[in-house]
Amino acid sequence: MLLGDGYIVEELRGLRFRISANSFFQTNTAQAEKLYALAAEAAELRSEDRLLDLFCGTGTIGLSMAKECKEVHGFELAESAVRDARKNAALNDIDNATFHLGDLASAMKDLDAALPHPDVVITDPNRPGMSNRLVKWIRRCGARRVVYVSCNPSTCARDLTLLCAPPVRPGEDAPPSEEELAALSNKARKRAEKDYDKSSKPQFQYRLEKVTPLDLFPHSHHVEAITVLTRVD
C-alpha cells in the first residue's frame, strides 16, 4: 500500500512548486536557485514581452519569470508535469502563464500553429537536445533573445551551431529558381516546391553572446550550462 499526498512541495525563488512522482524537477535545489537566477538575468525580459518556455517541466523557469513579462507560454511532453505546472501557477497566484501539452521533438505536426511567436525563448531540453524541426522553428520565430539551458555540452554545441549558422547561400529562403527546377525530375521538382511551401518563412541568424557553466551534479562529470543568444538583425 502506498500512502501520502502523491507529491512534494519545494520552494525556489520565493515560489512554491508542487511536484508529482513522474514530473521532472532539479534535484539540487540550492544550485537550481542559482541556475534560474542566471537564466532570468540572461533573458533580460521587458514588461511587454511574451516568454516561451520550452521543455518547461513543472513550470519552474517560466513561473519564476512571470512577474517580469506580459505572458508566459510553457510546453512540455509529460502530462503530469503540465498538470503540476498549472497547479503551481494557481498555487502562486500567477495568472499570466499558460501551459500546453505537446511533444516538441516529433509529434507536433505544425509548430507555427502550435507555438506562439515570442520575444524571448527559454529552452531546457533533456540530454538529446532539440530536434532539427524545433531549431529551424526558433530561427524563424524571430525572438530577440534565446536562452538555452543544457545538461549535455555536446548536444548543446550541436544545436548552437545550427542556431548561429549563417544561411547556406544567399537567398536560401527564396523559392527554387527556374534553372534549378528545370534540372530536376518531375518527382523531385514537386518535392522541392512542396518543401519550399513548408519552409518559406525567412530564418534569422543568432549570435552566441555568453556561456555560463554551473555545477548541479557535484562529484560527477556532468555540468549544466546557460547559453545566451541574440538575434542578428
Return all residues near 96 (Cβ < 8 A) that are at least 6 apart: 66, 69, 70, 71, 72
Q: What are the grid coordinates assigned to 76, written together?
A: 512540455
How much of the chain is in helix, strand and coil states, percent to nearest 5? 35, 25, 40
d(CA 58, CA 24): 7
d(CA 117, CA 97): 15
Q: What are the grid coordinates assigned to 128, written together?
A: 538529446
3-state DSSP assignment of residue 107: coil
Amino acid, res. 122: I
164 is catalytic: no
Count of other CB atoms within 10 angstroms of residue 144: 17
Reference 49, options 63, 67, 32; nearest CA is 67
Among candidate residues 56, 69, 141, 151, the one labeled active-site is 151
d(CA 23, CA 81): 5
Q: What are the grid coordinates assigned to 35, written together?
A: 541556475
- Known catalytic residues are 151
